[in-house]
Structure 1
């Protein structure tokens, strides 16, 4: 490996070298905190020397020679076709440039002879053209506006992006911080000499073949690189600049990463987390190798590299970026859209998100191959089967988070890039196996009333709300009416006034206990079954908490459809409701009284509806 270290002060760093921003480097993302930390470090060292050596000498050059030098950090460069690219360190170099611009302006205010020197540390001139040493090519107009002071800071054009916005914001912070500390010309000039002569960086110039490895190891002290930023460097670092420009691969990467990160900060890490597992992991043990923090390394190791073929393979990298990466990031973005808002064409992705079933992303990407012609159908089938498997296990008291995770990877391995027809059998075989294990006997029937019979209050709260939301959605869909509340509110809104809560139809009181032979244990068990529960809005739940059933029945008017089916007026002149009952053979009827028989009747009715929803 060829690395050439070179110790340089700021005067030398910014003298006659134009630094191009390599594709490895992110946008200028330093914000107030790392900028002020750098200023505080530098100024603290300067202040200590200033106190030690006094400040009375008129020979500032001689005085500054007594100050100890201070090491700032290392920056890494790579020369290609006589252009010097910054591989690592542009956050710090850009911030130093902003400090120089401020010092240049303050030199003008003091009419200091150092102003021209400072100007030469920011820009160089050849003929009629000038070049900023830190050559942010896409944001030169912003740099020029800061240098020329051609507009107030709040009027500087920052439309070129986040780099431009941070350039202006950080310049403003630098000005506010330094101005009161450099309160006279003598101190200002001494600080400027210290800044240019005594601050030292180490430049490491590396050969092109070594850039990806060096880039991964060396990070800016201020803001650490994210795994996907390191991965970008390791991938694009294998390609020559001409191909990068011709195929616009850097732009492709940025567009696709931005598309995912628009959903939340660093969402792209989650993409790689599920994507790698979907294609490589058949068990939980194998999945542990593909975490969100180290996928940028694992992708180049033997197991993953046999699939991706990215290690020391420029052709493979180009193909991966143009094909697999582009397709699967687009797919993931679509899936994220389906989780954020109910979509009639893909409702089950949204339903799974309500139950926090993020493993659906693994299963969905596992089932799809690049440019999959069955993509839409697979999304619908996999998300439906995921919802069905989860609900069937919950409703039959057979769900366990560990066995669920294990089952997910077994299904993923079986449906990986397989035809649509293979998806349902894979899920059903897994459901049958899990139910058989739970029963201790072969499960011929995938939804058994024997297992459903006692199901109720032990389900987690979110799932109970989800279950009754789906029941209400079923009634709405089959009676041609709109839901009174959307799924998201029914499942996720839990406030005391406008949130939704589980309500016991049978209040805890002596008359109701008498209906169950005054056996408190039997009463508690029975009233907690799903047939004895409802979903009510917060204020309705509170108001009916300890009422008799007759009074509660009145409070169920104008609430959810399932609640209203207890009341006689829910059946008057409701042709669509009657049609639903006859179509599915559902035995709805009003219940003016509510005891053991009525509770069992409602529980069986829920079983019948669930059998239709998750058929």
Structure 2
């Protein structure tokens, strides 16, 4: 009855949710080897679970501990029950904001399906609900930071690129208690050489436009929520009417900037940098996108808080934003004009914002709370 009910729930949750659940669960708890990265290397546990988990389980039944009838009962009544229930929670959290599991949604929006085996890896069936939630928060935030660092440095987060490294992380955090898990994840981030400081020329291009849209949504949402406004993140990343787009502060007119750029390619490189970008409704770009900065500026003052911060009126009678500025130490300032130096200054502001949002020290704070 338990099996039938849970399989029904998994199937109702989506087309491939049932097999994906088994792959994530079995990999997270049992995969000890992965195919070597060389020609004609043989498939190992990790690979076989991904393609034929039924056969793999029959072959690995002894190492999994399935020998007597009581073992099979425990495997379904305890293990399958626990991990499939957690997987269903994660599936729900990947589709809509769930309190405490917001980072699962952020990771899912980058299309990072490897997160599920990582999230399940440290969980144990006898963990309390509070411990389970803490572990999920830690791993989801770790993934969020890692992915954003890679995207900021023009690195791929595709399945094929990340699979081997994520297998190693999964294996190393399997079954860890809360404190060693925290320090393991923190230490892994500390070993990363590419962070926000390693690239001060992040720019939008055809391949990263979708990912950069998500990053700008997080920056914008953070400024607003830290200033006491309600979150509008789901609006910023939503589809349909009122859809938001990446907006270039400079219109695509290099002839307006010949005093600073001798070649259109130099102008385009600076125009595409993150400091020259905002997230605004598609209708805004259609109406005002071709105007000069000075003509756009009054209209920016009617948009989200990150856009409004370009306008001097944003700094008047705005106690929540002024408090956030003071507490964060971020050097927001109005820009009466927008030159090359302004894009670079604004880019530094965005980087400082990113360092607050995606901060490894937050993992240690989760442990404390």
Alignment equivalent of 2:291, drawn from 529, 542, 547:
547
For 1:613 and 1:340, the matched residues in 2 are separated by: 21
Aligned to 1:415: 173
Offset at residue 316 of structure 1 (A):
1.4
Are the counterparts in 2 of residues 474 and 613 from structure 1 also a CA contact under 8 Å?
A: yes
Aligned to 1:520: 264
Aligned to 2:28: 278
Are the counterparts in 2 of residues 462 and 491 from structure 1 also a CA contact under 8 Å?
A: no
The verdict on how the C-alpha distance between 1:277 and 1:566 changes in structure 2, with shifts beyond 3 A counting, is: same
Are the counterparts in 2 of residues 282 and 410 from structure 1 also a CA contact under 8 Å?
A: no
For 2:50 and 2:165, the matched residues in 1 are separated by: 19
- Deviations along 1:531-558, one digit per CA (max 9) or x if unpaired, are 0111111111122222111112133232
Are the counterparts in 2 of residues 479 and 580 from structure 1 also a CA contact under 8 Å?
A: yes
Are the counterparts in 2 of residues 567 and 590 from structure 1 also a CA contact under 8 Å?
A: yes
The verdict on how the C-alpha distance between 1:345 and 1:550 changes in structure 2, with shifts beyond 3 A counting, is: same
| 2:264 counterpart of 1:264 | no
Are the counterparts in 2 of residues 354 and 492 from structure 1 also a CA contact under 8 Å?
A: no
1:349 alignment partner, SS class: helix
Equivalenced residue count is 346
Offset at residue 259 of structure 1 (A):
2.1
Alignment equivalent of 2:117, drawn from 344, 362, 377:
362
Are the counterparts in 2 of residues 531 and 600 from structure 1 also a CA contact under 8 Å?
A: yes
**Structure with the higher fraction of residues in strand conformation:** 1
1:535 alignment partner, SS class: strand
For 1:282 and 1:557, the matched residues in 2 are separated by: 55
Are the counterparts in 1 of residues 3 and 76 from structure 2 also a CA contact under 8 Å?
A: yes
The verdict on how the C-alpha distance between 1:559 and 1:530 changes in structure 2, with shifts beyond 3 A counting, is: same
Are the counterparts in 2 of residues 283 and 410 from structure 1 also a CA contact under 8 Å?
A: no
For 1:589 and 1:361, the matched residues in 2 are separated by: 41
Alignment equivalent of 2:218, drawn from 454, 463, 470:
470
Aligned to 2:301: 557
Offset at residue 344 of structure 1 (A):
2.5
- How is 1:171-570 mapped onto 2 (pairs within 5 angstroms)? 251-282=1-32, 284-285=34-35, 286=44, 287-291=46-50, 294-301=52-59, 304-310=60-66, 313-373=68-128, 374-401=131-158, 402-433=160-191, 435=193, 447-449=195-197, 451-458=198-205, 460-483=208-231, 485=232, 487-493=233-239, 495=240, 498-570=242-314
Offset at residue 378 of structure 1 (A):
0.2
- Deviations along 1:381-420, one digit per CA (max 9) or x if unpaired, are 1111110110111113344534422221111011000112
Stretch deviating more after TM superposition (382-391 or 468-477) = 468-477
- Deviations along 1:141-168, one digit per CA (max 9) or x if unpaired, are xxxxxxxxxxxxxxxxxxxxxxxxxxxx
Q: Which has the larger radius of gyration?
A: 1
1:337 alignment partner, SS class: helix
1:290 alignment partner, SS class: helix
Offset at residue 482 of structure 1 (A):
1.4
Offset at residue 284 of structure 1 (A):
4.2
Are the counterparts in 2 of residues 566 and 591 from structure 1 also a CA contact under 8 Å?
A: yes
Structure 1 unaligned regions, length at least 5: 1-250, 436-445
Structure 2 unaligned regions, length at least 5: 36-43, 360-369
Offset at residue 489 of structure 1 (A):
3.5
For 2:326 and 2:346, the matched residues in 1 are separated by: 17
1:291 alignment partner, SS class: helix
Offset at residue 353 of structure 1 (A):
1.6
- Deviations along 1:555-598, one digit per CA (max 9) or x if unpaired, are 32322221111111211111111111111110001111001111
- Deviations along 1:323-361, one digit per CA (max 9) or x if unpaired, are 101111111111122122212322111211221222111
For 1:551 and 1:357, the matched residues in 2 are separated by: 40
The verdict on how the C-alpha distance between 1:510 and 1:457 changes in structure 2, with shifts beyond 3 A counting, is: closer
Offset at residue 423 of structure 1 (A):
3.0
- Deviations along 1:421-469, one digit per CA (max 9) or x if unpaired, are 233443444445553xxxxxxxxxx6342x2211111462221111111
For 2:284 and 2:259, the matched residues in 1 are separated by: 25
Stretch deviating more after TM superposition (386-395 or 516-525) = 516-525
Identify which of structures 1 and 2 has the higher relative contact order when contacts are C-alpha pairs closer than 8 Å and 6+ apart.
2
Offset at residue 513 of structure 1 (A):
2.6
2:55 alignment partner, SS class: helix
Offset at residue 283 of structure 1 (A):
5.1
Are the counterparts in 2 of residues 565 and 589 from structure 1 also a CA contact under 8 Å?
A: yes
Aligned to 2:364: none
1:591 alignment partner, SS class: coil
Offset at residue 506 of structure 1 (A):
0.9
Q: CA RMSD, aligned part only?
A: 2.0
TM-score (norm 1): 0.54
Alignment equivalent of 1:584, drawn from 328, 332, 343:
328
TM-score (norm 2): 0.88
Offset at residue 512 of structure 1 (A):
3.5
For 2:289 and 2:328, the matched residues in 1 are separated by: 33
Are the counterparts in 1 of residues 32 and 171 from structure 2 also a CA contact under 8 Å?
A: yes
1:536 alignment partner, SS class: strand
